[in-house]
Amino acid sequence: MKVSKAQAQANRAHIVETASALFRERGYDGVSVADLMGAAGFTHGGFYKHFRSKADLMTEAAACGFAQTDARRSEGKRADLITQYLSRAHRDSPGDGCTMAALSADASRQPDEVKAVFAEAIERSLEADGEARATRINELAHLVGALLLSRACPDDSPLADEILDTCRAFALSRG
DSSP 21-53: HHHHHH-STT--HHHHHHHHTS-GGGHHHH-S-
- Judged against a pLDDT cut of 70, whether residue 129 lies above it is answered with no
Task: Provide mean pLDDT across the span 141-151.
Answer: 97
Question: Who contacts 99 (Cβ-Cβ below 8 Å, separation ≥6)?
Answer: 20, 24, 62, 65, 66, 68, 69, 121
Q: What is the pLDDT of residues 59-118, one digit of tens each?
A: 999 999 999 988 888 777 889 999 999 999 999 999 999 999 999 999 999 999 999 999
pTM of the model: 0.90
Quick one: pLDDT at residue 2? 77
Q: Where are the domains of the chain?
A: 53-173
> What is the distance between the alpha carbons of residues 38 and 165, in angstroms, rounded to a whole number?
38
Of 3.30.70.1530, 1.10.357.10, 3.30.70.360, 2.130.10.10, which CATH number belongs to 53-173? 1.10.357.10
> What is the distance between the alpha carbons of residues 99 and 23, in angstroms, rounded to a whole number?
9
What is the tally of helices (H) and strands (E) in the chain?
Answer: 10, 0
Is residue 55 within a helix (H) or strand (E), and if so which, with residue range? helix 54-75
Q: What is the pLDDT of residues 36-48, one digit of tens each?
A: 999 999 998 889 9
